[in-house]
Structure 1
Amino acid sequence: MKDHDDLRRVREEDPYFAGTLAKGLLILQTFVSDPRAHANSEFAAKLGLSRPTVSRLCRSLRTLGFLDHDERLDRYFIGPAAVTLGYPYVINTPMLGSLRPAMQQLADRIEGAVSVGVTMDLDVVYVETCTYEEGTLKRPGVGAVRGILETAMGRAWLAQLPAGEREAFLSRVRRERPDEFTRCSEGARESVAHYAKRGFAINLGDAGFGVLAVGVAARLHYGPRRLLFNCAVPGLRTKKAQLLDTIGPGLMQLVGAADRQSGLR
């Protein structure tokens, strides 16, 4: 998450950058990584803003419905207007409606979860997930955020980047998220190195969620962003051979069908 110093640097580079708007959005973004209720002082400390500034921003966001306030605790939590912002994005995701039945069939067959996401800065944002209902795998719901290096679909996206852009991205993760880089960079590089031959990226559990996964980057775009597909299964009952021989090819087949339906070959 960016803070006040980051905003100042951006404003110095771009005089048209709306700093006040950005500060308000940073308050809302706080809930992505920490969804509990927050006090003004917590926002101020996390974002490097003054408490009077935070008070004004929170009052405005509360008036517009993006924040709610617990008078007893004197803390803010995310409001319903924040949910409405994501709805148009999800319902307009290309091919999503027609793909859901195939995604659910694959999820049932592998007894796991099949997801679609897009990249946002250093993260992947999930826009849909279909899950095997009798399984125990935790479902990443719409709007869930995971680090690009932590997900197989994020690694598939990484494999599509030109080498120079990819190294610049990895350097940034190393600098801004050292723990994530330490856990996941080796697995991410392995996926990138074998993506062209396999046709999919893999995650052997180094994200720390006890989950194995494969990921494919579709040729289909949503605006400037590729649609990314992920199959995740519980690591306790899945072997690497299953990822390579069954689950990965199954996801490739689904993504290939989506590309063909959209007119991409």
Structure 2
Amino acid sequence: MHQPAQFEDDQSTPAKDRSFVTALARGLELLRAFGPGEEYLGNAELSSRTGIPRPTVSRLTYTLTQLGYLKHDTRLEKYRLGAGILALGYRFLASQGIREIARPYMQQLADATDCAIALGTVDRYSMTYLEVCQGSGPLVMRLETGSRIPVTTTAIGRAWLCGISKQQRETFLEGVRRRDPDGWPAVKKVMEKSLDDYARYGFCLSEGDWERDVSAVAIPLILEDGAEVMAINCGGSSLRLSHRILVENLGPRLKEIEQQIHAELRHGGDLLTRPS
């Protein structure tokens, strides 16, 4: 579910940061409000989802439409994302050279295991898939590039958390605790286990935690000495991916992919530092 951003009035900025442009932040928050399967949203819906006053939303949607980031449907009196957003997305993906390097190894593993292999990065409290390679079996998860899944309940999210610095992880998890105090004890417990798993195996697991019938294993990819951290996972139906298969087969094979990516990056430039 989309979490509304907490903005104050137009003359104030979060934490009294004079460099923070609230109007820009609000415009970007509107664009984030469009989720999968929700092509059209009206001003009232956008206001409800973001917590931004409706008159301000009306001005923002007008501006974003003029710039090509939103498209207005006069019949529905609603908006959908415009071509400008697509162009930005493609530019971002094109800049991620790691995708080109990782894709062949990911597809090879997907074909060999009949699993879904994904490369992802964090966006707030979700992981966004930058690249997805699928096996051909009927029980493969059919998530696509651009899909967003939770951080704390998924293997790929937990791997990302294990790959960032301790300080970054504590800051992120404190945000999780504030957002959902009631759910925090369970998150704390599972993160302690994930850190133990990562120390023991070099990868993280999720066995029915995100979806009851889905199991997965994942490793972090630490770029530019930790300046950027991504993660790569391997998942599928829990009916055939037992704990033993995850730990003894798929996890080690993901580590091989990480080593192969690492070797290519070292050959073309030292962009990736393996986790210590």
SS of the aligned residue for 1:149 comes to coil
Q: CA deviation at 1:163?
A: 4.3
Aligned partners of 1:107 and 1:195: how far apart in 2?
Answer: 22
**Does residue 68 in structure 1 map to residue 71 in structure 2?**
yes
- For the Cα contact (< 8 Å) 1:127–1:143, is it kept in 2? yes
- For the Cα contact (< 8 Å) 1:104–1:114, is it kept in 2? yes
Aligned partners of 1:144 and 1:116: how far apart in 2?
Answer: 11
- For the Cα contact (< 8 Å) 2:110–2:117, is it kept in 1? yes
1:107 aligned to which of 107, 110, 126: 110
Misfit runs of 4+, over 6 Å? 6-9
Match of 1:206 in 2: 209
SS of the aligned residue for 1:129 comes to strand
Match of 1:22 in 2: 25
Unaligned runs of 5+ in 2: 267-272
The letter for the 1-side match of 2:236 is V
Aligned partners of 2:56 and 2:43: how far apart in 1?
Answer: 10
**Does residue 117 in structure 1 map to residue 112 in structure 2?**
no
The letter for the 2-side match of 1:73 is L
Q: CA deviation at 1:109?
A: 1.5
Residues 35-69 of structure 1, C-alpha deviation per residue, up to 9 Å, x if partnerless?
34211111122222222211111111112221122
Q: Please tell me the root mean square deviation across aligned C-alpha atoms, in Å.
A: 2.5
SS of the aligned residue for 1:190 comes to helix
The letter for the 2-side match of 1:132 is G
Aligned partners of 2:132 and 2:183: how far apart in 1?
Answer: 23
SS of the aligned residue for 1:115 comes to strand
Aligned partners of 1:199 and 1:93: how far apart in 2?
Answer: 24
The letter for the 1-side match of 2:84 is A
- For the Cα contact (< 8 Å) 2:4–2:51, is it kept in 1? no
The letter for the 1-side match of 2:194 is S
SS of the aligned residue for 1:237 comes to coil
**Does residue 47 in structure 1 map to residue 50 in structure 2?**
yes
- For the Cα contact (< 8 Å) 1:117–1:125, is it kept in 2? yes
The letter for the 2-side match of 1:138 is M
- For the Cα contact (< 8 Å) 1:202–1:215, is it kept in 2? yes
SS of the aligned residue for 2:35 comes to helix
SS of the aligned residue for 2:7 comes to helix
Q: CA deviation at 1:237?
A: 2.1
Determine what percentage of the aligned residue pairs are the same residue: 31
**Bigger mean CA deviation after superposition, 90-99 or 120-129:** 90-99
SS of the aligned residue for 1:214 comes to strand
Match of 1:3 in 2: 5
SS of the aligned residue for 1:218 comes to strand
Match of 1:253 in 2: 256
Aligned partners of 2:216 and 2:8: how far apart in 1?
Answer: 34
Instruction: With the length of structure 1 as denominator, give the TM-score of the two structures.
Output: 0.89
SS of the aligned residue for 1:150 comes to coil
Aligned partners of 1:165 and 1:4: how far apart in 2?
Answer: 22
Match of 1:128 in 2: 131
Q: Which has the higher helix share?
A: 1
**Does residue 150 in structure 1 map to residue 164 in structure 2?**
no
The letter for the 1-side match of 2:111 is D
